[in-house]
Amino acid sequence: MTVAPEPTGSPVDSLAVEAIGIVKEFPGVVANDHVDFDLRRGEVHALLGENGAGKSTLMNILAGLYRPDGGEVRVEGRPVDFGSPRDAIAAGLGMVHQHFTLVPSQTVTENVLLGLDRPRFLLHERESEAEIGRLAERFGLRVPPGARIWQLSVGEQQRVEILKMLYRGARILIMDEPTAVLAPQEADELFGTLRSMTAEGRSVVFISHKLGEVLAIADRITVMRRGKVTAAGIPATGATKAELARLMVGRSVLETLERTPFEPGDVVLSVGDVIADNDRGLPALRGVSLEVRAGEIVGIAAVAGNGQSELAEVITGLRPCGGEVLVRGQPVANRSASTVIRRGVAHIPEDRTSVGTAPNLSLTDNLIMKRYRQPPVAHGWLVDESSARAIALDLRESYRIGAPTVDTEVRLLSGGNLQRAILAREIETKPGLLIAVQPTRGLDVGAIETVHRLLLDLRAKGAAILLISEELDEILALCDRIDVMYEGRVVGSFTAADAEIGRIGLLMTGGSEADHAPAEAAG
Amino acid sequence: MTIRLEPRTAIPRWLSPALTIGAVAVALTISGAVIAAVGGDPVASYLHILNASFGSVGVLSDTLVKATPLILTGLACALAFRMRLWNIGAEGQFLLGAWGASAVVLFPLVPAGTPAVILIPLMMLAGMLAGGLWGFIPGVLRARLGVNEIIATLMLNYVALLWIQFWVFGAWSESGFQQTKAFPDAALLPRLADFADAVPAFAGLTVHLGLVFGLVTAGLLWLFLERSRWGYEIRLIGDSPRAARYAGIDIGRRLIIVFAISGAIAGLAGMSEVSGVVGRLQDRISPGYGFTAVIVAYLAKFRPGRVIVAAILFGALILAGREIQPSGVPAMIQGIILFTLIVADVLVRYRVRIERRVPVAAAASPPAPSAGG
């Protein structure tokens, strides 16, 4: 009773998957702009790129979660049109997502069997368990079949996800940033598993933005940036970290920005030796110190998941921490978010659709979010509707927020207009300090330019700005100073003058200065 | 063939009210079919219901009496639901409110002979405090310990009923019967019939001051929800708790306060019922007002003004229950209305697409290997 059908002998085509000219648009963003991608039988093909580069969109199309707006997908030479992940699995293509889809209270075996047509009615638990055990052993996926999911570590849970796909006969496995949740040793074990799969003729797409591990595991590498492929299937042997970093963070033609001369004032934000945990309770910040002065934009360059989001939350009162956070000399660490707002700290959050705005409320309601406590919007304990409306109309006009009326629910706005609304609201609080997190992620060029111009205007007015971004171009174009974060620490500091994209890219992706230029000392 | 739900990008203004009315119409059609299936005449039944609840000033007054507790409990639910707090405990809060009001008279907390102008406000206060406490408990559990409020409020309903039974079977029992002694006149809410001497047309009309409580509460709640800073915060929390936190709102504290106010409003309903209708405390003072309130709040889309309309409709249904045999029919209609309303709620947000299922791979590829690409 074989479970997973063995990969059949090589057909006419040795390509496992071929994607040709894939186009996928979301409102206001082209996530995939005529993307080509191919996966050979028996290889690990790494897909490299920053968050928002379009990697996940492409893979979600392959796995049947999205339908492409244009282009063609072929699996083992045959054109396919997947309506759902079920269709993809039927064609032998399975995806392991970053966020697992397991039932915590059920056993490994039950989770693997969940949703399958067989066994038809009765669960022959013992038989299935033995089968799954054999499959696990074959690929070095150490996991107790009878254990319940909640008892397992994250690494073990990932193995269950892989087992699920193998049990369903997946010949092609897409792993979406599999190492993001793993300890180094677990990552090594995963690599072992992937190698034993490719040795059997199965193929793996490995999505990542960590250069070291991509070079360690991949046979070929495709790099994506802003929805386009910047390097298509180049062999991993011979590729260097420096080259990949450049392809990944790139150097696109940005609009020319008029910057006023740099005249830093007093220290507005001072972060001293801050430590904090992430949502999983793991250390996210391991002793971060930095300063931002009035009239200065300081950039935090970091790849997602290296503590920069937590840093923003610590400063804005949304996450408890250890250490010291001072705004104009007054402590704000572990104070309520409303205290921090009162101290003149504005915040452009990373998640603009459910943190930065309330999607089903009107534009007016969203624009008064930070000022409904003060007159003129507050009228005693009432909200003065007419003055709220007047403010909304005024902001819609002056920030060119594309909304049909101020009563429009903001979930109907495009990403760019949503971000304009958030910026309008935050800037109008006349902040002394602005924390901007990924303010242009997923926006089109016009909206990006607006955001950049608004940030520079605010700087010219003497505000201190902390800009957290994965877009190195953006950081280089806007910032007076740059701190690079990696794994919860500041690993390098640059001034605008001595910033060099290659060195920053390397530090962001866990490389050391030595990888770039052995002679230079660490920054 | 597959059925897909696609989120609507733009929702026309008329869609939601049209679907709500449509849902009620569909529910009445289904109920009519059931009535016909058991040999009844649906049209005659509905006409009978109409006549029995709105046919004369007398029955209209009775309908309003039934609607009064529904208005208040419906408002209690609507307030909590606005914040996506699923308070299914209006029934228990209603009972606690009735108990609190009764306690003023029966302990007694005030000397016998206290005039109505003092006694009635005290009973209102006690009822609201007791109901508020019954809302405060699940509020704290949810805010501080993350206990699911649906389960907590649902279970507290049974605790409340047992609490009432403990008193009416025990200390407050009127010579062993499962009810307390009748309240003194000063503890009763004035009814229209009480003014029949001055206005003869009021003779026999049972509408009592509790209806005014309901209308005033609806007005205050409207002001609170639609115009006040707190109402704004509740809307924000209800729509996106993370956005509310980001805006500097202490969600836990708001949650407890809203739960307590919701409980207090349901408690006022209980007070109004013992003081305006029953005149004593019994364990069977509610035919499930607190549960019907959930449907009322839903039908009203959590808007205070519409709660009044929906409560009167359901008051009519409850009243008609006395007239229609089998008496389960109004309860069935209620259940089907809730069901169709929930469907309508989905239809407001999603468009239904029915698609022929296209076989995978075969769709785009040639049917036979011999055919050209």
| Alpha-carbon distance A337 to nearest alpha carbon in chain B (angstroms) | 5
Instruction: Write down the pLDDT at residue B215.
Output: 96
- Asked if B357's CB is within 8 angstroms of A83's CB, the reply is yes
Contact A206, A45 (CB under 8 A): yes
User: For residue A8, what pLDDT is reported?
Assistant: 46
Q: Is residue B366 predicted with pLDDT exceeding 80? A: no
Nearest CA in chain A to B237: A358
Residue B67 to residue B215: CA distance in whole angstroms: 11
| Residue A426 in tokens | 């935050």
Task: Kindly report the backbone phi and psi dihedral angles of residue B284, in degrees, each rounded to the nearest multiple of 5, phi listed first.
Answer: -110, 50
Model confidence at A483, pLDDT cuts 50, 70, 90, reads: very high
pTM of the model: 0.73
* Residue contact A370–B247, C-beta within 8 A: yes
Task: Please report which confidence band the pLDDT of residue A122 belongs to, taking 50, 70 and 90 as the band edges.
Answer: low
CB contact under 8 A, A78 and B361: yes
How close is the nearest chain A Cα to the Cα of B361, in Å?
Answer: 4
pLDDT of residue A334: 86
Distance from CA of B180 to the nearest CA of A (A): 43
Longest Cα–Cα distance of chain B, Å, equals 102
Query: Closest to B239 (Cβ–Cβ): which among A82, A318, A359?
Result: A359
Environment class of B43 (CB within 10 Å of its CB; exposed 0-12, middle 13-18, buried 19+): exposed
Q: Is the pLDDT of residue B324 over 70?
A: no
From the list B9, B245, B365, the residue facing A337 with the nearest CB is: B245
- How large is the average pLDDT for residues B216-221? 96
Q: Which residues of A lie closer than 8 Å to B, measured between beta carbons?
A: 72, 75, 78-83, 87, 90-91, 316-318, 336-341, 347, 349, 351, 354-361, 365, 368-370, 372-373, 378, 381-383, 385, 412
Interface test with A, best of B246, B250, B350, B353 (most A CBs within 10 A): B246
Q: Percent of chain B having pLDDT more than 90?
A: 51
CB atoms within 10 A of CB A216: 13
Cα distances from A316 to residues A281, A295, A469, B74, B237, in angstroms, run 19, 19, 17, 39, 19
A369-411 pLDDT, tens digit per residue, is 988 888 888 888 888 888 999 999 999 888 888 888 888 888 8
Q: What are the tens digits of pLDDT across the range B190-215?
A: 998 888 888 888 888 889 999 999 99
For residue B256, is pLDDT > 80? yes
Kindly state the tokens that stand for B122: 């005290």
Interface test with B, best of A340, A382, A437 (most B CBs within 10 A): A382
A358 and B243: CB-CB below 8 Å?
A: yes
Residue B82 to residue B64: CA distance in whole angstroms: 25
Torsion angle in degrees (nearest 10) through CA of B315, B319, B325, B328: 40
Chain B residue numbers touching A336 (CB-CB < 8 A): 248, 250
To the nearest whole angstrom, how far is the Cα of A428 from the nearest Cα of chain B?
14
Most confident stretch, A306-315, B55-64, B146-155, B184-193: B146-155
* B322 interface with A at CB cutoff 8 Å: no
Third-level CATH fold of A15-249: Rossmann fold (3.40.50)
pLDDT tens for each residue of A429-448: 888 999 999 888 767 666 77
Asked if the Cβ–Cβ distance from B242 to A354 is below 8 Å, we say yes
Amino acid at residue number B312 = I
A315-355 residue pLDDT tens: 999 998 888 898 888 888 888 898 899 889 999 998 888 88
Which strand ranges, in their side-by-side order, compose the sheet holding A330-331?
Answer: A283-293, A267-277, A322-327, A330-331
Please say if the pLDDT value at position B6 is more than 80: no
Cβ of A383 within 8 Å of Cβ of B243? The answer is no
Chain A residues whose CB is inside 8 A of the B224 CB are none
Q: What is the dihedral of CA A500, A502, A507, A513, to 10 degrees?
A: -90
CA distances from B371 to A193, A197, B47, B362, B367 (A): 40, 34, 68, 13, 7
CA–CA distance, B276 with B211 (Å, rounded to integer): 9
Contacts of A403 in chain B (CB under 8 A): none
Domain boundaries defined on chain B? 63-303
B149: closest CA among B338, B162, B157? B157
pLDDT for A12: 40
Report the gap between the CA of A16 and the closest CA in chain B (Å): 15
**Mean pLDDT, to the nearest integer, of A42-48?**
92
**Pairs across A and B, CB distance < 8 A:** 96
Greater confidence (B76 vs B183) lies with B76
In Å, how far is B366's CA from the nearest CA of chain A? Answer: 9
Judge: domain A251-344+431-523, CATH 1.10.8.10: no
pLDDT at A315: 92
Average pLDDT of chain A, as a whole number:
83
Task: Determine whether the interchain pair A372/B232 forms a contact, defined as Cβ–Cβ distance below 8 Å.
Answer: yes
Which residues 6+ apart lie within 8 Å of B275 measured at CB? B101, B120, B123, B183, B187, B188, B189, B210
B365/A360 Cβ within 8 A: no
Residue B40, H or E segment: none
pLDDT at A109 (0 to 100): 87
Query: Whole-angstrom Cα distance, residue B307 to residue B312?
Result: 9
Asked if pLDDT for residue A250 goes beyond 70, the answer is no
- Which of B241, B214, B242, B227 shows the shortest CA–CA distance to B300? B214
Nearest-neighbour CA in chain B from A393: distance (Å)? 19
pLDDT-based confidence at residue A2 (cuts at 50, 70, 90): very low
Q: What value of ipTM does the predicted structure carry?
A: 0.78
Q: Which residue of A80, A349, A412 is in closest CB contact with B361?
A: A80
Residue of chain B with shortest Cα separation from A414 = B9
